Amino acid sequence: MIDAILRDLQQPEYLHVLINPLPVYGLAIALLGLIAAMYSGTRGGQVTALILIFACAASAWPAAHYGEAAEDRVLAMADDDGQAWLNAHAQRADDLIYIFYALALVSAAAIFAPKKWPKTARALAVATLILAIGSLGAGFYIAYAGGKIRHREFRNTPPPKTVEAKSG
């Protein structure tokens, strides 16, 4: 059993599936925490939510890294429609990953800048909130295509027409 788990943890497609909920579901939960903390006006609650937002936004990098590393293996397992959805998923991730990086930077600024400049706390929290909503939308858009790669039961629309996936 332990051997199987350790073997799975060496497969990029397994790691991608394991990590990829964090930038979507984790971010959604952290966003709710930030909204609650902003409503209650507690700086401690805001910092906790901002740390969670930072961690979830930063987790987009390993999710994308392992997704790219697994692309060839998953492509070989997918049917024609699944391959089209994989291409769309990869293209969306390549195009939108930068929103998550920006969110990680802004949330880090919202954590640390108010220590030196207290008046920036609210503006940075609001900026994080807005960017987190945008990142969440991007995450849903990316995940929508990703869920259709191997799950035929989710394919209720034809696959998108995409440019061939980049090689490399």
Ordered by start, the domain boundaries in the chain are 2-154
Q: Would you state the pLDDT for residue 162?
A: 62
| Sign of the dihedral defined by the CA atoms of residues 157, 158, 164, 168, in that order | positive
Tokens at 148, concatenated = 């259709």
Residue 69 has pLDDT above 50, yes or no: yes
Amino acid at 4: A
118-138 tens-digit pLDDT? 999 999 999 999 999 999 999
Where does the pLDDT of residue 22 fall: very low under 50, low under 70, confident under 90, or very high at 90 and above? very high
